[in-house]
Amino acid sequence: MNRTDMNASRMDPRLDLPSLAVHALWALWLVATVALWSSWAVSARVASMVLGWAVMFWNYAVLHNHMHVPIAKPKALKWLVSRTLGLACGFAYRGYYLHHFNHHRYNDGDGDWGRRHPGEGALRYCVRWALTPWLWPLDTLKKVWGACKTRGQKVELFIDFAVVDGTLLALTLWQPSLGLSLLGTLIVTQACIHYLNLAAHLGADARERSRLAVTSTSRFYNRWFFNAGYHQAHHLKPQTPWRALPEVTATLDGQGQLPADLQTDVSPISPVWAAQVATRVGAEPGATPGVSA
């Protein structure tokens, strides 16, 4: 193996162990919660769901990267991890995959299925999209079904709905409080996930390639969320492994493709950024993430 191959292997390993570890943490949480739920007091159940929300939200960073660059290269393991990552975030994996790549095609512009309605505020947007996977709206289902290019993708779509909805239904029939608590936690998690989309595109413009997304250089966020802050680089080169995004970002900066008003050292999960998203989305066309003190 030459030096180039070694570097490629380091950037895009056959098994992405940090990502798999985060996903394994979710699996451990789920198994423990299901096994111990009936013996727990209400306070312990609430604590478990709060922990579950954090772990599910963390797993979304893994799910997002996996859709672009698989965290497990062996075919069977990749297929299995795709299904379980979908379950971890409450998304039918193949459906969300198609929805997400539609987003990359249109970048929150005309044609993006997940685009905000005119004048729609952040809270309404997040609630609307958090409820969408569970209400099965015909318009969204038709779009996702029509985007399936092969019979295999359509089969996967059925399987993924069965995995997510079937698991929740089974848990609810077995222990109603467990199933309904998990459903509620998933809805809250998905609202937070859709908030991330608003935060990552605050002040962006789908008509300009240099303004597709915000770049956050927050060390905390990028370390623990697999370089998710380098969102402009991700949109310009979506199949780039997450480990290579800082280098790509530096190159784009040198080429003048990172406008200063779309760069910040604030984390998207910071209250500072969240406050701007909450107050400006739907109210001002030119909202920007700002800078830290």
Identity (one letter) of the amino acid at 185? Answer: T
User: Is 286 domain-assigned?
Assistant: no
Report if residue 51 sits inside a domain. Answer: yes
Residue 246 belongs to some domain of the structure:
yes
Give percent above pLDDT 70 in the chain. Answer: 94
Mean pLDDT across 206-230: 97
292 located within any domain: no
Q: Between β-strands 215-216 and 263-264, what pairing exists: parallel, antiparallel or unpaired?
A: parallel
Q: Categorize the per-residue pLDDT at 109 as very low, low, confident or very high, splitting at 50, 70 and 90.
A: confident
Range of the domain at 246: 3-280
Interatomic CA distance for residues 2 and 117, integer angstroms: 51
Q: Would you state the pLDDT for residue 8?
A: 59
8 Å CB contact between 223 and 58:
no
285 located within any domain: no
The yes-or-no verdict on residue 288 having pLDDT over 60 is no
* 96 domain-assigned: yes
Structural domain count of the chain: 1
In tens, the pLDDT along 84-93 reads 999 999 999 9
Instruction: Output the pLDDT for position 284.
Output: 57
pTM: 0.92
**Residue 283: what pLDDT?**
74
% helix / strand / coil in the chain, to the nearest 5?
Answer: 70, 0, 30
Query: What is the percent of the chain with per-residue pLDDT over 90, rounded to a whole number?
Result: 87
